[in-house]
């Protein structure tokens, strides 16, 4: 297992290099000159040139990339072109909000998806199965922002149970922190639950039809033991893939939901950086998001090795 882990970690190195190179190149292709934006529309040509020189924008592209990548390896992702705030510090300050939202959404999704998927697989063809399939189809189809607006209208305005916008740090109270995450968590968790339900239902249905399941039942094992010990573990591999993908999506794709609920997370920071053409901030956010996704995929790969020892030999 250790060799398998080391091999997977080493595979991340060239991938991260390619991601950083691609992000640096794509950001430079964005129309406009950040030096003009910073100096102001009424700035003279000399002031714009001085700003460009101060930012190092006159250096060759490879020199700019080498300097940026070298600093990034030490954890220094540069400073914002507008607020002069450390990019690393800004991301570190916003990341707990996005992480809390991701965990809340995934917890809600699993609380819905696991029972629904198991019941649908055990009651295949019955009304429970049809209900779970309908939920999965509807949940995947509904736009996140629309679900969020409906939840705000229902549970923040009509019945003021949960706050409509804003984020309360956990240091100010676990209860207030949790209440603020319920509505955005449900908004994001609905689509995730639908996807996991569909995958778990299909995977568990196929697993329960295998010969080893019939053998386990013939040996006198209870239905619960067959499902939990044999069925769920063997059906978990494709489900873990979906969960890993969804975690990466939640961490990097919660932009709209954060805006709807006024959460100061990475999504909100990314939108501000794009609108201001804050190149160091955009680069830092994308690289950190890519690193998070790669780490999530690493955890998924390691879970494969634990669930199926044959994978370790691949």
pLDDT tens-digit map of 134-181: 888 888 888 888 888 999 999 988 888 998 888 888 888 898 899 999
Do 131 and 201 meet the contact criterion of CB atoms below 8 Å apart?
no
The percent of residues in the chain predicted with pLDDT above 70, rounded, is 89
Evaluate if residue 73 carries a pLDDT over 80.
Answer: yes
278-287 burial by CB neighbour count: b if 16+ within 10 A, else e? Answer: bbbbbbbbbb
Q: Which two tokens stand for residue 139?
A: 């949940």
Instruction: Return the bridge partners of 79, or none.
Output: 86
Give the pLDDT of residue 252: 63
Report which of residues 108 and 10 the model is more confident about: 108
Q: What is the CA radius of gyration of the chain?
A: 24
Give the pLDDT of residue 234: 73
Give the pLDDT of residue 16: 82
How far apart are the C-alpha atoms of 71 and 48, rounded to whole Å? 25
Report which of residues 307 and 218 the model is more confident about: 218
Give the pLDDT of residue 108: 92
Give the pLDDT of residue 186: 92
**Any idea which of 11-25, 89-103, 240-254, 297-311 has the lowest mean pLDDT?**
297-311
How far apart are the C-alpha atoms of 257 and 243, rounded to whole Å? 19
Q: Cα angle at 215 between 210 and 221, to 5 degrees? A: 115
Report which of residues 164 and 11 the model is more confident about: 164
Mean per-residue pLDDT over the chain, rounded: 81
How buried is 41 (Cβ within 10 angstroms: 0-12 exposed, 13-18 middle, 19+ buried)?
Answer: exposed
Give the pLDDT of residue 275: 80
**Any idea which of 85-94, 110-119, 197-206, 303-312 has the lowest mean pLDDT?**
303-312
């Amino acid at each position: 297992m250790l060799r398998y882990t080391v091999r997977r970690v080493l595979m991340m190195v060239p991938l991260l290099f390619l991601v950083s190179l691609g992000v640096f190149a794509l950001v430079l292709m964005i129309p406009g000159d950040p030096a003009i934006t910073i100096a102001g529309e009424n700035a003279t040509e000399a002031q714009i040139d001085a700003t460009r020189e101060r930012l190092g924008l006159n250096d060759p592209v490879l020199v700019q990339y080498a300097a940026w990548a070298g600093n990034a390896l030490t954890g220094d992702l540069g400073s914002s072109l507008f607020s002069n705030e450390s990019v690393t510090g800004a991301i570190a300050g916003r990341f707990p909000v996005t992480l809390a939202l991701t965990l809340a959404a995934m917890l809600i999704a699993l609380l819905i998806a696991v029972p629904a998927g198991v019941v649908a697989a055990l009651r295949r063809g019955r009304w429970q199965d049809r209900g779970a399939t309908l939920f999965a189809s509807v949940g995947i189809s509904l736009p996140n922002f629309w679900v969020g607006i409906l939840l705000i209208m229902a549970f923040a305005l009509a019945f003021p149970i949960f706050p409509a916008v804003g984020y309360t740090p956990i240091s100010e109270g676990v209860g207030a922190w949790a209440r603020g995450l319920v509505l955005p968590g449900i908004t994001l968790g609905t689509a995730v639950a639908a996807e996991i339900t569909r995958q778990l239902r299909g995977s568990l249905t196929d697993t329960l039809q295998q010969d080893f399941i019939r053998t386990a039942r013939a040996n006198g094992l209870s239905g619960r033991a067959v499902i939990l010990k044999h069925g769920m573990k063997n059906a978990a591999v494709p489900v873990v893939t979906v969960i890993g993908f969804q975690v990466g999506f939640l961490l990097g794709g919660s932009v709209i939901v954060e805006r709807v609920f006024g959460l100061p997370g990475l999504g909100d920071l990314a939108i501000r950086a794009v609108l201001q053409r804050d190149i160091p901030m955009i680069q830092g956010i994308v690289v950190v998001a890519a690193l998070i996704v790669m780490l999530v995929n690493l955890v998924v790969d390691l879970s494969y090795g634990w669930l199926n020892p044959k994978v370790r030999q691949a």
